[in-house]
Amino acid sequence: MVNFKSMSRKEKIEYIWDYYKLHIFGGLILIFFIGSFIHAQVTSVEYVANLTIVAGITDENKRENAEKSITNLTVKSGEKRKQAFIDVIPIVDPQNPQPELLQKLTVKIATKEIDVIVLDKSIFQSLIKQEAFLRLDSNYGLELTSIKNEKIEAVNNQNNKAIYAVSAEGIKILEDMGVDTKNKVLAIMSNSQHRENAIIIFKWLLGIK
C-alpha cells in the first residue's frame, strides 16, 4: 500500500499523473465540450429568411447593406440573435454552370434553406417542373396588379399554367450590388420555411407595400 503522506511533492505529482491521467484527460475533454456547447448556444444566430442570388455580384458592401435592410424588415424589435441572410451563388454562365455551384444550389433547395431567389430564366425553367416555386397568383397577400415587372408564366408538371415569377430586370437593389439582371427572374420557393418573411422581401425588392 502506497504511503501518500510520506511522498515528496514531486512524487505525489508523478503518482497522481500516472494513475489518474486518463481521468484528467476525460475531465478536460468534457469541460471543452460543455464550454463549446454553451458558447454555441450563446452566440448562435437564428436565420429568419434567406435571399439567394444565383449570379455574380461586384459590390459586397451593397450586399451587406441590403442584408441589414431585410433583417430590419423581418426581425421584430427586441428580438436578439436573429438575422436575414443574403447568399450568393455566382453562376455567371447559366448555359455552362460550374458543377460545384449547381450542386450547391440543388442542395440548398433540397434542404429548404432558400426563401426568395433570383436566378436566370433558363435555370428557372429547368426547376419549374419540380414544383420548386410558389404560385404568385394564389392568395398569399400579393397584389399582382401592383407589380409593374413582367409576370413570368410557366407550366408545372400537371400542365397547369400559372404565374411563378416576375422579371428581375431593372430592380435597383440588385443592380446596386452589381447583379446583371438581364434574363433574371425573382421567385419565392414553394418549400420556404419563412413564407411570411419571403413575401416581405419579395415586395421590398419590387418596391411595393
pLDDT digits 0-9 by tens, 70-129: 999 999 877 778 899 999 999 988 888 899 999 999 999 999 999 999 999 999 998 988
What letters, b where the CB count within 10 A reaches 16 and e where it falls short, cover 85-105?
Answer: bbbbbebeebeebeeeeeebb
Give kind and range of the element (H or E) at residue 73: helix 60-74
Report the C-alpha gap between 129 and 125 in whole angstroms: 8
How do residues 121-150 score in pLDDT, each as one tens digit?
A: 999 998 988 889 999 987 677 788 788 899
Average pLDDT over residues 23-45: 64
* Mean per-residue pLDDT, 20-35: 69
Compute the Cα dihedral for 156, 159, 165, 168 and give only its sign.
positive
Is the pTM here over 0.85, yes or no? no
Cβ distance 140 to 201 under 8 Å?
Answer: no
> What does the mean pLDDT of the chain come to?
85
CA distance 149 to 169: 8
